[in-house]
Structure 1
Amino acid sequence: MHKFFVPRSNILGDTAIIEGDDVKHIYKVLRLEVGDNVSINNCDGEEFLGQIEDVNKKQVTVKCVEKLALNNESPVEIYLFQGLPKSSKMDLIVQKATELGVKEVTPIITDRVVVKNELGEFKKLDRWNRIVLEACKQSKRSIIPKVNTPLEFEGLLELLKNMDLIVVPYENAEGHGIKNMVNSINKSHIKKIAVIIGPEGGFEEEEINRLKELEAYIVTLGPRIFRTETAGFVCVSLIMYELGDLGGIS
């Protein structure tokens, strides 16, 4: 069943109005018709079984038949702080982070970020958030993750004070990995997790030291060095497997 995210303002009583790009996709690509069932999400995590009542080129009217007891979100909230990469790598990062269940993605500006002029290109946020929305539909997410504006390293340090767990993959870390970290923490007290990924050039030693001051876990992901766009996927996947719902809940 196809899923659509509809803002609360477009849901009046038991009627949802789908507008924008989804309309053309519904009648021209999916070829859905009156009477077909769809899933409606109100952008706040609530899901409804809907039945199409009217289709035209401007909007699609859907009757919300019943509320669904559905929640595809992880029991832990992972906030990915990604060292801003070159080119279009961030497109892939936000897409896959959404599929994996990340709650928010924030690009960060560290000393070795090469493309510092990206700070002024805020219109990229619109593209990244569109990519997130499409990934939400594909992966059946219950909420839409947010991609935040790029953040300087000092601002990152302030945000981290509100996290229950801070994980920093680092190529110079030795011995202490995700397995050791998971065995050393009290899992019942972990809700908000920050995963911090360095840019192509990695972290400066001073940056790692400042993260250590916040009791961040500086971990290795194994003997092989990952690209920046790969490291986040690997780290988030391991944490979701150990502390979240990846692989199913036993």
Structure 2
Amino acid sequence: MSPPLFWADTVPEPGAELVLSGAEGRHAVTVTRLAVGERIFVGDGAGTVVGAQVSSIESKDTLVAAVRELTFRPRPQPLVTVVQALPKSERSELAVDLATEAGVDVIVPWQAARCVARWSGKADKGVAKWRAAAAAAAKQSRRPWIPDVTDLATTTDVRESCADTVAEGGIVAVLHEEASRPLRALDLAQVPSIVLVVGPEGGLDEGEVADLTALGAHSVILGPEVLRTSTAAAVALGAIGALTERWGR
């Protein structure tokens, strides 16, 4: 099993000492129960990860480790953004968790027309929860990059973002159970970016689908099964990983 990964604001160069404290230090010492001599990874969430060896346990939330090596891994290409319509509360953070484990680069929470969940007056709290879920899932899956989670987007925001992606040569794929074209039919390998639009439990509004396809998006289906909104992005990301070089790096 690979060493556990923890987050720090900055990571030092090889040969230096690293002090892991606060919430991450508590997780390492109290939850993971690391001991002197064990190896760990510590990353900044932006591609840089150091391998280190624990040299001392200072308290229940602080350890010191000697940095052995440093690596930087660029984001995989093409860049994948998931526009995720807000799921019901019990599945909200699950959608973020699964998409992060599957490799998403950017997550856009979207207040779509048919969303049962409403973040009116509490968008900051919802976004904070999604960002925490993304950081936790990236750590669990040993990812060097924590996905960016944007502020809550309106449909106007989504339209503008999708139009920009198309204008820059990217692909926007609207996951829609009534579409006839499969995701695999799109030429995904040679584009700089991909946007996946995932609707809520009640499905995308037909006006939303028509609006986005008029801007150059593609309405596509993943397969014969109808997926939950919380799992659709992860399944699509798996397909993209196999159809492009994202999993070959």
Q: Same fold (TM over 0.5)?
A: yes
1:121 CA displacement: 4.0
User: What is the alpha-carbon distance in structure 2 between the residues aligned to residue 119 and residue 162 of structure 1?
Assistant: 28
SS of residue matched to 2:82: strand
- Is 2:39 the partner of 1:37? yes
Match of 1:76 in 2: 78
User: What is the alpha-carbon distance in structure 2 between the residues aligned to residue 146 and residue 104 of structure 1?
Assistant: 5
Q: Percent identity?
A: 26
CA-to-partner distance for each residue in 1:123-147, whole Å, 9 max, x for gaps? 1322222222221122110111122
Please show how residues 33-182 of structure 1 align to structure 2 within 5 Å: 33-57=35-59, 58-68=61-71, 71=73, 73-118=75-120, 120-163=122-165, 164-174=170-180, 176-182=181-187
Q: Is the 8 A contact 2:95 2:229 kept in 1?
A: no
Uncovered stretches (5+) of structure 1, i.e. residues with no partner: none
1:169 CA displacement: 1.1
SS of residue matched to 2:132: helix
Structure 2 CA distance for partners of 1:161 and 1:16, relative to 1, 3 Å: farther
CA-to-partner distance for each residue in 1:205-240, whole Å, 9 max, x for gaps? 221111112211111223332221222222222122
Structure 2 CA distance for partners of 1:126 and 1:56, relative to 1, 3 Å: farther
- C-alpha RMSD of the superposition: 2.2
User: What is the alpha-carbon distance in structure 2 between the residues aligned to residue 179 and residue 30 of structure 1?
Assistant: 41
User: What is the alpha-carbon distance in structure 2 between the residues aligned to residue 223 and residue 40 of structure 1?
Assistant: 41
SS of residue matched to 2:127: helix
SS of residue matched to 2:6: strand
User: What is the alpha-carbon distance in structure 2 between the residues aligned to residue 89 and residue 222 of structure 1?
Assistant: 22
Q: Is the 8 A contact 1:33 1:52 kept in 2?
A: yes
Match of 1:220 in 2: 221
How many residues are paired up? Answer: 241
1:194 CA displacement: 0.4
Uncovered stretches (5+) of structure 2, i.e. residues with no partner: none
2:195 partner letter = A
SS of residue matched to 2:73: coil
Q: Is the 8 A contact 2:173 2:197 kept in 1?
A: yes
1:119 CA displacement: 5.5
TM-score (norm 2): 0.87
Structure 2 CA distance for partners of 1:239 and 1:29, relative to 1, 3 Å: same
Moved more, 20-29 or 93-102: 20-29
TM-score (norm 1): 0.87
